[in-house]
């Protein structure tokens, strides 16, 4: 999720979040939450799983 939202957007792929939402609506990926290994003040972070 972080890769899609930040890294791809920084590279100029402004549609990254739209793509994520589209794949989720089409039931191609599942978004779930795991313990955040980076901290940033959040206990959990989103992760992706292919269906």
Which tokens go with 40? 């940033």
Determine the number of helices (DSSP H) and then strands (DSSP E) in the chain: 3, 2
Q: What is the model's pLDDT at position 25?
A: 93
Q: What is the model's pLDDT at position 46?
A: 80
Q: What is the model's pLDDT at position 1?
A: 64
Q: What is the model's pLDDT at position 44?
A: 87
Do 33 and 46 touch, CB atoms closer than 8 A?
yes
User: What's the rounded Cα separation, in Å, for the pair 27 and 49?
Assistant: 11
Q: What is the model's pLDDT at position 15?
A: 74
Which tens digit of pLDDT belongs to each residue from 1-51? 667 777 777 777 667 777 788 889 999 989 888 998 877 778 888 888 888
Strand segments (E) across 1-51: 29-35, 44-50
Model pTM above 0.95: no
């Amino acid at each position: 999720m972080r890769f899609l939202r930040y890294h791809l957007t920084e590279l100029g792929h402004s549609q990254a979040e739209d793509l994520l939402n589209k794949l989720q609506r089409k039931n191609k990926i599942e978004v779930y939450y795991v313990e955040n290994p980076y901290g940033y003040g959040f206990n959990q972070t989103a992760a992706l799983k292919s269906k």
